Structure 1
Amino acid sequence: MTDDTATARPPRPQRGDELELHIESLAFGGAGVARWGDEEHGWVVFVRDALPGDTVRCAVTKRKRHYGEARLLEVVTPSPDRVPAKADHPGAPWQVMPYEKQIEIKAAQVEDALRRLGHLDGFEMLPIVPAVEQWRYRNKLEFSFGTDRETGELICGFHAPGSWEDIVHVEDCLLQSERGNAARRAVLEWARAHRYSAYDRRTQIGALRNLVIREGRRTGQLQVRLVVSDGVEIEAGSLHAAVAADSLLLTEIDTVGETTAGGTTSLLAGEPTIGEEVCGLSFRLSGQAFFQTNTEMAEKLYGVAADVAGLQGWERVYDLFCGIGTIGLSLASRSGEVWGLEIVEDAIADAIGNAKANDISNARFFAGDVRLALRELVEKAGRPDVVVVDPPRAGLSQKVVRRVLEASPKRIVYVSCNPTTLAPNAAQMVEEGYVLKTVQPVDMFPQTPHIECVAVLERGA
């Protein structure tokens, strides 16, 4: 007896079935949410690229017990909120919504995650900080090389939604500056002229994997990093002549999967780093250094973190997952001392260099896994008054949260790029006596479902 017959439910759609659905809301991550069937036996279906208010025709791509996923085939009746798309690529999935609606939904999703997933209440939800620029705001983009299925020509763009092998070619990425677009086109033309092929993950044959373009928005400097298969030889002189980057780097990767991280990076031409300026400070960015991809909104984000940290000039601040030191160094002038901790040794080297370049003497940075090294840092530096954490999308592990709680700071400033991982982390802290005071969403990524926020937790009396 199947699950469906046991519960007297009608048979659910199978993979490949076409459905006509009305989209009710948006899930975190951006997919439209619809319900197939009646209210009693309804089955939730997530439809990529669909908006609340749309009636759509879609094809089922995944069938699970409690939900399904579907690919949009046609918008039968558009939502009143739907607007024409500007970008002809999949890098801006929310561009079909007015910007005011985008930030309204993002703020609501942050609050919903905290209340529904974290079971948190009593905090102040501050108004979302909108983006300064809605288009051409990114200082870094990662593109993938591929092969046009019809012509066999080398192309460069983004992965098609839900695909690890199909590449959508991009002529003008509206999330990137005109200069960045020109650099990408120059590299592609160079690669075609020299008959380089795209790496094929199925056959594990081919030279070119990815192209990473980064700009110093405040300095005007350009960094181009070409990611290739291990052992591929590149004609550096002709490439540099074609793209004229301030920093031209080559990364060789020997893994089967696609990644721009790791491997061996060498300098082909120019300088190994480029400069950028945020919060009145200068930073040097190496090829694989983490830096917020929206310079103007990074300044807003760090300003929010500095304000809510409530520093009076004497506090000991820990900056965990500190990267190249951006947040910690921006807080140094308001602190007694700053201690940064980060697992990536190259990032720590950058952070130390950035502190010296900005004549900041009250900040120290150490390489180490927060999970293992935080206790040692407390023994060395003393207990922190304020801890700032800026973890990756996966959030903090329970063990890292326990280590932070052991350090017993008066205040925790949690900078999050994923409210669904912030919520359980904050709940764990609240269970141990902290109080979630305020949450401030900051929109770093217009035209996409991504949202940053800054949460403040204070130790209870």
Structure 2
Amino acid sequence: MDNDVCEVPTVSEEVKKKSVEVKTEVPDENTAEQADKAAKCTEVKTESAGGVETTEVKMEAESAEVKTEDKAIVDCDEAAFDRVQIQNLNKYMSYKQVKTFLNKILDGMPYRKLRHFSDTAYLSFQSPAEAQKAARLIDGQIMKQKTITARLVEPEPLKGHDITKRANNDDNESDRKRAKIITSAKDIVTPLSDMSYEKQLETKQSDCTNLTRNLFRQMGKANIENHYSYSVARNLKRIIPSPAHRAYRNKCEFTVGRNTEGETTVGFVGGRFAADMHYVVPTDDCDNISDHMKRIVKAFENFVKESGLPTFNEFERVGCWKMLTVREFLGDCMVIATVFPFDDAELEKQMKQRLVDFLLDPRNFTNPDRRFRITSVYWQVQKNASDPTVYENIGGTTYIYERLHGMRFRVSPGAFFQTNSRGAEVLFSTIISACGFTQEANGISTNEASNDDHKSEAMEVVPSENCKKEVEKEEAVDSNVSESITEVVESKDSTVFLDICCGVGTIGICVAKSVQNATKTKKFVGKFYGLGVEMIPEAIEDAKKNAAANGIGDDQFRFVAAKAEDVFRDLRYSLPPGADLNKANVVGVLDPPRAGMHERVIFTCREMGKLNRLIFVSCDPKAALKNIVDLCRPRSRKYEGEPFKLETIQPVDMFPQTKHFEWVVTLVR
């Protein structure tokens, strides 16, 4: 068959009727001319095949008939319709194929965004005029023997606007569940806030029990020696409560966007990107952040509204304001404004100055509508989440400071610091106790003291079955651990402490200070050397300053900005002078990010034969299970070095009102 013709079924009465309707409804000259062309299209050949009539018609006729439907596009509200819906694509086409095909048709005509769904695609343009032009170019095109249709449709809805209507109109039950609207930040951020704190601890203890059993199952699959001897009663300890239950967070990140009514809001994300929803809910009913932080968020929200610049749209990748980060300690408060890159450098400069003048205005503290005090303002430009993080200090101090266990710590904008300061003191005391350097340290309470303080409360969260037997077994384990600790400390000439993923040095400095105090009272015998390793150079600079400020000299504790696996290959070159690995008792603390530690670090820890005690600290135990199992696996070609043995798992509640908790896991060999 000739390329200019195609075989189609005989024109039905319905199609003829439609053609007549189009002719009668369109009086304008352009459409009349198209109708005349359609009328001139004659049937070239008609034949009978199996009782079915087929007709060959000129392609020009089909194109003319399709173009008569442009009236449905042109008559729409052109001021609003800047998006084109393209249908009848081959469903097996890839996004790249569709994009190449459309770019060829549009011949360089720009568009904002292309979205592809199976046999349908959407093109968004800067103006309705461009959209109309594109629709006419695309409509009626042939691709892979399929005639493509294009029509103008409503613009993509503003994310966060009228989402409820969208959810109610969804006929699919699963989609309705997916489009559930969350209007309370409490439901997102603090799902356990309606429970009593005792009930929260009970829930978390139950979660710890399930996770521990899962860990033991994985150990069994890995053929770990003596895994049958592990049990919840023997190895899992009672969760240690947080001293603060409300307004405990010293850092929070808030998204700048729009709420369900389309209004500019600074708060927490309520929708899921996977569900094609993105809206923001306010912070009003969140009890885990302070009222002071909430007032800062509200003031920044008003500033964004008055700035005249739009909020960033994650789907369209356009806009300005992206995020607000607030870090507050006693007397100090740092604010980080994250924005999308500016096209106008002068406008960006003006906006920086306006923000500084607003946030550092000394009248903010006495203004009844604000009542906040900010000491440091940073500006961060971020196009993609994976981009290198660069902070620019545009006002106030460069750092902020916090006190833990009577020591002062400097914190830079990108450095990690525990989000619950009072809870961190409990966590660090637990880690110090697990290290086994000393059973008691002046100035720093130990894990045993914490358990005694909360003994009656913690007893309530132990499973009721065989409760007394479990407690007796745990106490027996504690007694054995205490005896082994005393023996280790007295039999070694020196101790080398490794703080892996040290951040600003909080754990290492607290441990060193504890040993210093214990040495003065002869509760620690021998020399102590420490090494902190962290990949973020700014955090290492903070750690060095923090150590010096708290009386920990470079001859006792050093900090290195590098990957742990690189440092451990030649560890002796990074240690303080005088440290001898061959004569030392090596103890390490591994505090990885939430996602867990890279397996190269796990390999290195196993290969370090002198490392006989490792404290694994995890804020997401579920993600850490693989790391723990890998540390305990039998020796193999992949996992060299002697395996560790699980001693205890100590949960610590660092995140009241949430489902999260920390694990302090003691591993020995």
Q: TM-score range by the shorter chain?
A: 0.7 to 0.9
List per-residue Cα deviations over 1:293-314 (Å, max 9, x = no partner).
Answer: 0000000000000011011584
- Displacement after TM superposition at 1:187 (Å): 1.4
Question: SS in structure 1 opposite 2:339?
Answer: strand
- Displacement after TM superposition at 1:197 (Å): 1.9
Assess if the C-alpha contact under 8 Å between 1:114 and 1:419 holds in 2. Answer: no
Aligned to 1:205, which of 318, 331, 342? 318
- Displacement after TM superposition at 1:369 (Å): 1.2
1:3-82 map, 5 Å: 60=174
Aligned to 1:324, which of 495, 498, 504? 504
Assess if the C-alpha contact under 8 Å between 1:89 and 1:170 holds in 2. Answer: no
Task: Name the CA distance, whole Å, in 2 between partners of 1:288 and 1:95.
Answer: 29
Specify which structure has the bigger relative contact order, considering alpha-carbon pairs within 8 angstroms and separated by 6 or more residues.
1
Question: SS in structure 2 opposite 1:284?
Answer: strand
The structure number with the bigger radius of gyration is: 2
Assess if the C-alpha contact under 8 Å between 1:317 and 1:385 holds in 2. Answer: yes
Task: Name the CA distance, whole Å, in 2 between partners of 1:72 and 1:278.
Answer: 43
Work out whether 1:359 is the aligned partner of 2:554: no
Work out whether 1:406 is the aligned partner of 2:607: yes
| Structure 1 length-normalised TM | 0.76
Assess if the C-alpha contact under 8 Å between 1:89 and 1:158 holds in 2. Answer: no
Letter in 2 for 1:377: L
Question: SS in structure 1 opposite 2:284?
Answer: coil
Assess if the C-alpha contact under 8 Å between 1:172 and 1:181 holds in 2. Answer: no
- Displacement after TM superposition at 1:87 (Å): 6.3
Structure-2 residue corresponding to 1:391: 592
Assess if the C-alpha contact under 8 Å between 1:294 and 1:444 holds in 2. Answer: yes
Structure-1 residue corresponding to 2:563: 369
Question: SS in structure 2 opposite 1:264?
Answer: coil
List per-residue Cα deviations over 1:361-416 (Å, max 9, x = no partner).
Answer: 12110011123332122554354610100001221233211101111312111111
Structure-2 residue corresponding to 1:39: none
Structure 1's unaligned 5+ residue stretches are 1-57, 63-69, 75-84
1:161-200 map, 5 Å: 162-163=272-273, 165-200=278-313
Q: Which has the higher strand share?
A: 1
Work out whether 1:275 is the aligned partner of 2:401: yes
- Displacement after TM superposition at 1:148 (Å): 3.4
Question: SS in structure 1 opposite 2:316?
Answer: coil
Q: Which has the higher helix share?
A: 2
* Residues 239 and 195 of structure 1: CA distance in aligned 2, closer, same or farther (over 3 Å): farther
Aligned to 1:155, which of 252, 257, 265? 265
1:298-337 map, 5 Å: 298-312=424-438, 314-335=494-515, 336-337=528-529
Q: CA RMSD in A?
A: 2.6
Aligned to 2:243, which of 125, 132, 136? 132
Task: Name the CA distance, whole Å, in 1 between partners of 2:212 and 2:388.
Answer: 34
- Displacement after TM superposition at 1:59 (Å): 5.1
Task: Name the CA distance, whole Å, in 1 between partners of 2:296 and 2:564.
Answer: 38
Assess if the C-alpha contact under 8 Å between 1:59 and 1:73 holds in 2. Answer: no
- Displacement after TM superposition at 1:86 (Å): 9.5
- Displacement after TM superposition at 1:445 (Å): 0.7
- Displacement after TM superposition at 1:350 (Å): 0.8
- Displacement after TM superposition at 1:230 (Å): 2.0
| Structure 2 length-normalised TM | 0.53
Structure-1 residue corresponding to 2:460: none
Task: Name the CA distance, whole Å, in 1 between partners of 2:548 and 2:249.
Answer: 27
* Residues 349 and 73 of structure 1: CA distance in aligned 2, closer, same or farther (over 3 Å): closer
- Displacement after TM superposition at 1:124 (Å): 2.2
Work out whether 1:424 is the aligned partner of 2:626: yes
Task: Name the CA distance, whole Å, in 1 between partners of 2:173 and 2:199.
Answer: 27
Task: Name the CA distance, whole Å, in 2 between partners of 1:140 and 1:129.
Answer: 22
Task: Name the CA distance, whole Å, in 2 between partners of 1:307 and 1:330.
Answer: 12
List per-residue Cα deviations over 1:129-174 (Å, max 9, x = no partner).
Answer: 1122222111111100002353x43111101153462211233532
Letter in 2 for 1:430: C
- Displacement after TM superposition at 1:347 (Å): 0.7
* Residues 72 and 454 of structure 1: CA distance in aligned 2, closer, same or farther (over 3 Å): farther
Task: Name the CA distance, whole Å, in 2 between partners of 1:254 and 1:370.
Answer: 30
Structure-2 residue corresponding to 1:105: 203
- Displacement after TM superposition at 1:89 (Å): 5.2
> Which stretches of structure 1, 4 residues or more, deviate above 6 A after TM superposition?
none
- Displacement after TM superposition at 1:334 (Å): 4.0
Structure-1 residue corresponding to 2:138: none
Assess if the C-alpha contact under 8 Å between 2:241 and 2:653 holds in 1. Answer: yes
What count of residue pairs does the alignment treat as equivalent? 379
Question: SS in structure 2 opposite 1:129?
Answer: coil
- Displacement after TM superposition at 1:103 (Å): 1.8
Structure-1 residue corresponding to 2:649: 439
Work out whether 1:225 is the aligned partner of 2:336: yes
Assess if the C-alpha contact under 8 Å between 2:184 and 2:285 holds in 1. Answer: no
Q: Percent identity?
A: 30
Assess if the C-alpha contact under 8 Å between 1:254 and 1:263 holds in 2. Answer: no
